[in-house]
Every structure is written in structure tokens, then in C-alpha cells.
Structure 1
Amino acid sequence: MKTISTDKSYGGTQGVYVERSEACDCDMTFAVFVPPQAAERNLPVLWYLSGLTCTHANVMDKGEYRRLAAELGLVIVCPDTSPRGDHVPDEADNWQFGKGAGFYVDATQPPYAANYRMYSYIVDELPKLIAAEFPVDMDRQGIFGHSMGGHGAITIALKNPDRFQSCSAFAPISHPSVSGWSMPAFRKYLGADEKTWRAYDACSLIEDGHRFPELLVDQGTADSFLEDGLRPGELNQACEAAGIDLQLRMQEGYGHSYFFISTFMEDHLRWHAQRLGDRK
């Protein structure tokens, strides 16, 4: 791990780092905010997964999480959204695929399978580095995200319920197997057999028996991607059928941007902090 930058903020440290990823076969950049309480004890860690076109920097610059994370004693980890580098296959004119659009899957189709292994990177590789390099209590982990990252957060939590104590999302892509946003990417990453897509689709995972105790989802009613791309009603139906406690909050007049995310960021941080607790 190499340090790109560190800055003091609210008594803690906002850092940006880079590591050579074996999973993605490239250098991966990520951000970590460490609050001041880390000088005394290991702290719970909250993973934030970003959306399409984003890097680690979008939420770091616009998410407005540091003040309350410092107060609550939460370590915030913000990974990138895809592999990067000149050797990584891409469609430069397609914002819904390739670099910036890894969809938190492990691709199985050439030429993408060599690099687009974001599920393994987020679930297996990066946590080992965070545990080794930062003052975190890996028995207290939460995960949340926005849009494509909300999809990633919910699917990862559903498949790893013993690891995560909390999960929430802002405007997640709830049913990517049928969403116009994600179907083309799933086909290129995972192949034509749509049965294989179910492993990365929140609604399908719930239908197939995966469970998580409770979810918090905020969704803006003025989000232009609401009907085709995001489909929160279908997630609500899947959770109701499975007995999963979903708190779906439709926020009147809000769109899809970081103006929406930053407005409700504190709600999500407090919600996660309550569930991650303090095991001093």
C-alpha cells in the first residue's frame, strides 16, 4: 500500500491510498477516513460503494460524511468502482460499462474476466489490506452505497450476512437483471445465460433464499432514473415476500445526485452506528 495523500479533518485523517490488486490485475486507489478515536481503540468500519462514472473521490469530496463519522467513531472506506489502467478493456463512449462501471461483479467473459473482478476485490482482497493497515474492528462492519454502489452493497450484504451487521443504500439499482441500465453490462461481463446474473441481483438473491435482517433505502421521487434504472418497488415486493425488514423512504423532490446523498448521509451514518455498536 502506498499513500497518495493524507489530510487532517475533524480531528481525524482523510487518506487516499493505492495498492496493486491481484483480483483486478491493476493499481486500485481507495480512500479511508480514520476518526480521532482510533488513537485509543479499533473502530467499526463502514464501506461506501459508489455509482456509475464515479471513483473513490466523488463521495470523499461531496458526501459530507467526515464531521459525523468523527463524532460517531466510524472508519469510512471508499473504494473505486472498477479496475483502471491502459491495459484494462473499456468502452470509452459508454458510461454504463467498463471503467467506472464494474457493477461489483466478477466477470466471467473475455476480455473482461481478467480485470473486472470487483466482487472479489471488495469482499476478499481489500478487507485484508484494511484489517492489516488500519485500526478497525472487522467484527463490526457495515456497508452502504449509491445507485450501482447501492446494488453492490445490498447484493454483497445478502451474500455475506455473517460479515456485515448493517446495510443501507441511496437509490440502488434494485433489479439489475431487468434494468435497462445494467442488462447490457451484465451480458458482457457474465454472458448470455441470465441465470448466472441472479448471483448479482438483489431481487433475485432474495427470491433464491438469501437474507439480511434489515435494510434502509432512501430514494428521491424526482430521480429521473427511478422507473427504469432503479425499480425500488420491486425490491420492496421481494423483501415483503421474504419477510425482510426494508425501510424504504421515498424522499419528495430529491433527484439522483450528491445533493440528495449528502442530505441524508447523516441519517445513514447514525443508523449504521446504532447497529455496529461499541464493544469496548
Structure 2
Amino acid sequence: MNIKQATTIDEVIECLDEIIEKSKFEQCAIGLFATLYREVTMQIKNGIGTGLFQDPERMEKLDVIFANRYLKAYYQFQAKEKCSECWQFSFTKGEEYWPIVVQHLLLGINAHVNLDLGIACAQVSTPESIFDLHSDYNKINEILSNLVNGVEKCLVEIWPTLTYILKLSGKIDNFFIDFSMKTARDGAWKYATEFVLLPENEWEASIQKREIKVTRIARLVSNPGFFVSSIFKLIRLFERGTVAQKIIELSKVEYSPVTETVVTPECVLES
């Protein structure tokens, strides 16, 4: 099994470009999250170059370790090998018809932030240094929040009447905002501060326990109840364009660069 792993942030971007192009060619919705994630990585790269982060060297190391967890899961799935349960769920949904763009993005955010980010933060830290990372961690969360907020512009392009639906039903708007702004934040940091204290022989058991909780959230994203699911199906039926065209639209979204930390995380997923 050929599992590509990056050693630099530029190699991360190259791998994501390959996944995006393959997804466009195969009309596979897995490429939607990869497109959003590429933008996250570009903003982190730019932040490293402009002095956004307190420790640029540590941030690049964190970015590569973080990305390699996604890349490993992706290539395992492509090879039909076992990968993390929450990633398995997300990638499988990426090959199905009914999930809408929002759901594909949130499934990827859920797996990568709630599982992978905490582990990556712990792996670039020690029990003594973990809290030195907190400021830069908050900047990552600000980047994520900024990108998720900008995605709604893309969704309106894919389905122009989405704005009307969002105003008609605050439940859908809240589903999108509440999940992305809460679940992707403080729970991952809390897990990082606990994971870093564990001896290596307890890592696997801790990760497996975490996967169960993260997969539970993925199932909620996939099936958020009768009312919201019904609206999502309506949106899906009238989504405009092929998967490749949706990926292109998502890549066109303009995001404001992050310049300072304004995030105050709220804990949703308990470790």
C-alpha cells in the first residue's frame, strides 16, 4: 500500500492538489473537504511567512503531522484498507449521492479537527510545553472559523435559493454554524492536553475511544433529524453543477487573512 506522507508544508499542498484533481476527474465529493483543507493549509503557510504564529518552526511541524493523519487515512481508504472509523465514515459518504456540500465539509472538519488536531498538538509538545502552543492553536481555530463562514458564499452559487431556505429555517443555519464553530474548537484542545500526558503504550486505546465519540458526531451530521434531513434532500435535488464544478466553486471563495486571535473556544465534544 502506497501511503504518501509529507515532510514540508509545500508537500502537503502538493498532496492535496493531487487528491483534488483525482476527485474532480472521478466526480467524487471527497475532494470538497480537500479543497477547503488546502485553503486552511495555504493560510497557515502564509501565516508562518508573515509572523502570525509565535513559533513558526513548530507550526510547520504541527501542520505536517496534522496533514499526514488525513493523508494516511485517505490513502488507506483508497487502498480499501482499514482507516480511522470517523474518516472511514466521512470518505464513504463522499462516494454517496445524498449528502450536500455542507455535510461533506462538516464530516471532514469533524474527523480532522476533533480527532487529528488534538493528537497532532500533543505530538509536537511535551506535558511541560503544551500550553505554550495555546495561542497558536487559537489562531488555527480562527482560520478554520473564517473559512467555514466564507463557505456560505459558495453554497449560494451552487444553489442560489439557499439564502431563502436559510432565512426560512433558522434550524439549518444553526446546524451549520453551531457544529463548525463549537465542535471544532475546545474539545480538540482539551483532548490534546490529556493525550500529551499519556504514556505511548496507552495512545492507541485513547485514540480508539476518541474515534467512537467523533464518529457519533459524524452520524449526527449525516442524519440530523427528520426536518433538517428533509430540507437537505431538497437542497441536494436542486444543487447546481457536477461535483467537479462544486469543487471549482469552492476553490474560488475569497477569504480574509487572519491577523490576530479573536477566538474564545467553547467545549462541545468532551474527551
Q: Report the TM-score when normalising by structure 2.
A: 0.35
Which structure has more relative contact order (CA 8 Å, sep 6+)? It is 2
Q: Report the TM-score when normalising by structure 1.
A: 0.34
Q: Which has more strand, going by share of residues?
A: 1
Q: Which has more helix, going by share of residues?
A: 2
